Amino acid sequence: MTALQSKWEELADIKDELAARDWFMGTSGNLAIKVSDSPLHFLVTASGKDKKKRTMEDFLLVNTSGLSVEKTDLKPSAETLLHCAIYDKTSAGCSLHVHTVANNVISEIYGNDGKIDFQGQELIKAFDLWEEDALLSIPIIPNHAHIPTLAEEFRSHIHADKGAVLIRNHGITVWGKDGFEAKKLLEACEFLFQYQLALIQIKSK
Judged by the rule CB under 5 A, the positions of this chain that interact with Zn ion are 171
Q: How far is the CB of 40 from Zn ion (least distance, A)?
A: 22
Asked if the bond preceding 76 is cis, omega within 30° of 0, the reply is: no
Distance CA 180, CA 13 (A): 11
CB closer to Zn ion, 76 vs 171:
171
Q: How far is the CB of 98 from Zn ion (least distance, A)?
A: 8
Q: How far is the CB of 145 from Zn ion (least distance, A)?
A: 11
Q: How far is the CB of 186 from Zn ion (least distance, A)?
A: 13
Residue 154: closest CA among 143, 17, 18: 143
Q: What does DSSP assign to residue 156?
A: T
Q: How far is the CB of 78 from Zn ion (least distance, A)?
A: 8
CB closer to Zn ion, 123 vs 172:
172
Nearest residue (beta carbon) to Zn ion: 171
Asked whether 173 and 100 are in contact (CB, 8 A), the reply is no
CB closer to Zn ion, 123 vs 163:
163
CB closer to Zn ion, 163 vs 171:
171
158: three-class secondary structure by DSSP: coil
How many C-beta neighbours within 10 Å does residue 26 have?
7
CB closer to Zn ion, 79 vs 124:
79
Contacts of 188 (CB under 8 A, 6+ apart): 123, 124, 126, 127
